[in-house]
Amino acid sequence: MNITRIYEIAKHVLVHPKIIWNASVVLYKEGFDGVSIRLQALYYTHRYRYDTPCLTHEIISEIEAFEIKPLISILTPSYNVDQKWLSKAIQSVRHQWYPHWELCIVDDASTNASTINCLKNIDDPKIKICFSTRNENISVASNLASAMAQGEYFALLDHDDEISVDALYEMVRAINREQADFLYSDEDFLTINGWHVSPHFKPDFSPDLLLSHNYITHFALFGRRLFEEVGGFRSRCDGAQDYDLFLRISEKAENIVHIPKVLYHWRMLPSSTSADSGVKPKALESGKAALQDALKRRGIDGSVEEGNLMHYFRVRRNLSDKPLVSIIIPFKDRADLLTMCLDSIVQRSTYKNFEVIGVSNNSVEPQTFELMRQYVLQDQRIKFYEFNQPFNYAQINNDAVFHHARGAHILLLNNDIEIISPEWIESLLEHSQRSEVGCVGAKLYYPDGKIQHAGVILGLGGYAAHSHRLSNGTDHGYFNRLNVIQDYSAVTGACLMVKKSIYEAVGGLDAAHFKIAYNDVDFCLRVREAGFLNIFTPYCEAYHHESQTRGEDDKDMEKTERFDREKANLKARHAAILEQGDPYYNPNFSTDSENFALRFVPFAPCK
């Protein structure tokens, strides 16, 4: 069976989306992950030919019943755009279900006669047009558009893109439901031939992801008051003017709401970064400048570095001091694993102010105790003690933290972890030192280089699972999420840093309900409930030789029953987030896959 050939045929033939979807599911189960993902992308593309939003009597009645019916001013700077694309952008606004809008277009002294003629032929009282006499670039033009605007909210639309017919309706609906003052939606990319491709399904507001790149992009809407309070667009950030604006608005907004629906279509033109991220090199420098300004405004002591891809960044925070870090390592025998773990810490760590507390849980092998004796003699930062009770991972760590750890920061570490990155402690500590941060997790690989952990997603498999697990370690992940600092609901306890004060405040790991499984997930969620952010950083890297210590739980009936009990405990305690969905995982994704696969949506085409 030539899988690639089947894909090529499906790409060029108008196959019903459900057939494509079913094929992708079969291929995924058979291990053809790459082709499965490509078919899912094709499913999304064909779906738009079958499934379009419908304006129903119920929606019309809902709009009429809105308590808040603000005028939405859509700001659109234009410059030498093909009249075909400009007309489509304008038509997408005219087709809006929500009727209370105005379109404010400022032409930035176009030299293209067709652009000017297109604008001059518009005769619509809801569309305001201003022609600048000199070219002053996008920020000036956008500010001029805002000066023309009368609306209580502003929205942004590029001159060659489109918004969906329900875009403003969904925004105003959220304003009425949640009193939002800054809103953004999901988006996709629109080819010249009219194909909808590469949907970007985003998380709810993730402040650390926004410091890594402008994931908000389109469709964005915000209160006029916010826009004026931050001073509008700034010309020094032209090319990344939206990013700069979103960073400043997010610092002032009272309620940032994400609408998990594709409401914006970003046209892939040769002149657009949607088609080629390198087409506007100045945008990279402007984005970097916007971030540097954000650090200054927020009082963050750090620097901005370019990321692994264009328009992605790393905000590297300087350490305020060099506190003692207590590394807790539970183990039972397996001197080979313990040697690997400790040697990687001692030999590769550039951060020196740490203590290692090794906790022997029912070890019996003489070579284990000899190894413990040797390490204590070699390095005074390493110490061991015995905790000889029935294995309870949560209880072992709690005992070490509450009775033995002296550090201001706790680093929970499995004995089957092998450190890769020398600055691993600094990469965790730069976030753990932040007052608003709780748990910080690492990027972990299986020994073969595939991803073992890159953040924990709630709801996968009905409970929780690891983001991008089994992806190639060199992959970018979904919109490069394998390579950027971001917020997650939880991270794995196999390598987790947290302030000791927070660990103590929430009562540590729950040794009664989560002796073996899900104690880290439960802990992270309780830390999050206490008001802290949990962070994943890809700059702390390690190999995780998982399951080499205890073995697989499903090989033992007693272990299986215990595992099921602890899953049930997680579901009972954290029912709300499991039912509502992980805020950092878009509901358009499947909960049956860890690779950000799309969720199948039943079709309801307009008649």
Nearest to residue 221, comparing CAs of 96, 72, 63?
A: 72
In a shared domain, residues 17 and 119: no
Tell me if 516 is assigned to some domain. Answer: no
Tell me if 593 is assigned to some domain. Answer: no
Low-confidence winner among 184-198, 429-443, 470-484 (lowest mean pLDDT): 184-198
Tell me if 588 is assigned to some domain. Answer: no
Terminal CA-to-CA distance of the chain, rounded, Å? 38
384 Rama sector, left if φ>0, alpha if ψ -120 to 50, beta otherwise: beta
Instruction: Give the percent of the chain with pLDDT over 90.
Output: 78
In a shared domain, residues 337 and 220: no
In a shared domain, residues 330 and 461: yes
Residue 497 Cα to chain centre, angstroms: 20
Contact yes or no for 480/209 (Cβ under 8 A): no
Q: Compare 23 and 201 and report the one with higher pLDDT.
A: 201
- The neighbour count for residue 380, using CB atoms within 10 Å, is 8
Tell me if 607 is assigned to some domain. Answer: no
Question: Mind listing the pLDDT tens digit for each residue in 187-205?
Answer: 998 888 887 888 899 999 9
* Distance of alpha carbon 170 from alpha carbon 128, whole angstroms: 24
- The neighbour count for residue 565, using CB atoms within 10 Å, is 15
- The neighbour count for residue 320, using CB atoms within 10 Å, is 11
CA distances (Å), origin 305, targets 81, 316, 480 = 33, 7, 16
* Distance of alpha carbon 71 from alpha carbon 74, whole angstroms: 10
In a shared domain, residues 344 and 451: yes
In a shared domain, residues 191 and 330: no
At 274 the pLDDT is 44
Angle of the 366-378 helix axis to the 335-348 helix axis, nearest 10: 10
Beta strand 456-458 with 325-331: parallel, antiparallel or unpaired?
Answer: unpaired
In a shared domain, residues 332 and 229: no
Look-up of token digits 């970097």: 288
Tokens of residue 77, six digits: 């700077």
| Residue 22 belongs to domain spanning | 3-50
Q: Given a cut of 70, is residue 63 above it in pLDDT?
A: yes
In sequence order, the 6+-apart residues with CB closer than 8 A to the CB of 291 are 211, 247, 304, 313, 315
Look-up of token digits 């932040």: 434
Q: Given a cut of 80, is residue 597 above it in pLDDT?
A: yes
β-sheet bridge partners, residue 265: 162, 188
pLDDT, the chain, mean: 90
Give me the CATH number covering residue 206: 3.90.550.10
Tell me if 518 is assigned to some domain. Answer: no
Tell me if 474 is assigned to some domain. Answer: yes
For the residues of 379-432, what is the DSSP string, one character each? -TTEEEEE--SS--HHHHHHHHHHHT---SEEEEE-TTEEE--TTHHHHHHHHH
What size, in residues, is the chain?
Answer: 607
Question: Mind listing the pLDDT tens digit for each residue in 379-409?
Answer: 999 999 999 999 999 999 999 999 999 999 9
In a shared domain, residues 387 and 457: yes
Q: Collapsing DSSP states into helix, strand and coil, what is residue 456?
A: strand
Question: Mind listing the pLDDT tens digit for each residue in 501-549?
Answer: 999 999 999 999 999 999 999 999 999 999 999 999 999 999 999 754 4
In a shared domain, residues 111 and 24: no
Tell me if 528 is assigned to some domain. Answer: no
Q: Which of these three, 50, 65, 86, is where a domain ends? A: 50
Look-up of token digits 């971030």: 291
* Distance of alpha carbon 190 from alpha carbon 323, whole angstroms: 50
Q: Given a cut of 90, is residue 367 above it in pLDDT?
A: yes
How many CA atoms within 13 Å lie on the side-chain side of 166? 19
In a shared domain, residues 227 and 376: no
Whether pTM > 0.75 for this model: the answer is: yes
Q: What is the DSSP letter of 67?
A: S
Tell me if 250 is assigned to some domain. Answer: yes
Tokens of residue 204, six digits: 């709810």
Look at the chain and report how many structural domains it folds into. 3
Nearest to residue 47, comparing CAs of 170, 195, 187?
A: 195
Q: Collapsing DSSP states into helix, strand and coil, what is residue 544?
A: strand
CA distances (Å), origin 116, targets 94, 109, 113, 356 = 19, 9, 5, 70
In a shared domain, residues 346 and 284: no
In a shared domain, residues 79 and 34: no
β-sheet bridge partners, residue 305: 314
β-sheet bridge partners, residue 153: 72, 223
3-state secondary structure 163-184: ECCCHHHHHHHHHHHHCCCEEE
In a shared domain, residues 446 and 461: yes
Question: Mind listing the pLDDT tens digit for each residue in 79-129?
Answer: 999 999 999 999 999 999 999 999 999 999 999 999 999 999 999 999 999
Residue 19: band (very low, low, confident or very high) from pLDDT cuts 50, 70, 90: low
